[in-house]
Amino acid sequence: MLEVLLQDETEVKKILTDKWFLSQQSLVFFCADILGMEIAEFHFSWERLSRKYLQLLIEAARDHGKSWFWAFAYVIWKLRFNKLDGCLISYSEDQVINLTTHIKTEIENND
């Protein structure tokens, strides 16, 4: 069934438009669909909290992807849809350099 839909150029354009719209509306969808990130339930919670509060402090154990989600994916999402107004703060200068390098690479290489 999907193969038949994808043969129709109009349907392909609609699917791509819908995916782009969803990417604009949802950081989690953008992370999964555009950046290929594996999504966990807590990512949905983080997104809901970010919509509810102007300022937010996230505490989570190591290796939950806080830096990746907030300092990489969130920044790219905001930059892509022209909604970024803030700064990147991290534990160390090395971590900021690493994150900004990843952001630059993603922007230059992602289709």
Please report the pLDDT score of residue 45 as a whole number.
Answer: 93
Phi first, then psi: give them for residue 91, nearest 5 degrees.
-60, -40
pLDDT in tens, 78-108: 888 866 666 777 778 898 888 888 888 888 8
Whole-number Å distance between alpha carbons of 63 and 60: 9
6-20, pLDDT tens digit by residue?
A: 556 666 677 667 888
Tell me how crowded residue 6 is: count the other CB atoms within 10 A of its CB: 11
SS3 50: helix
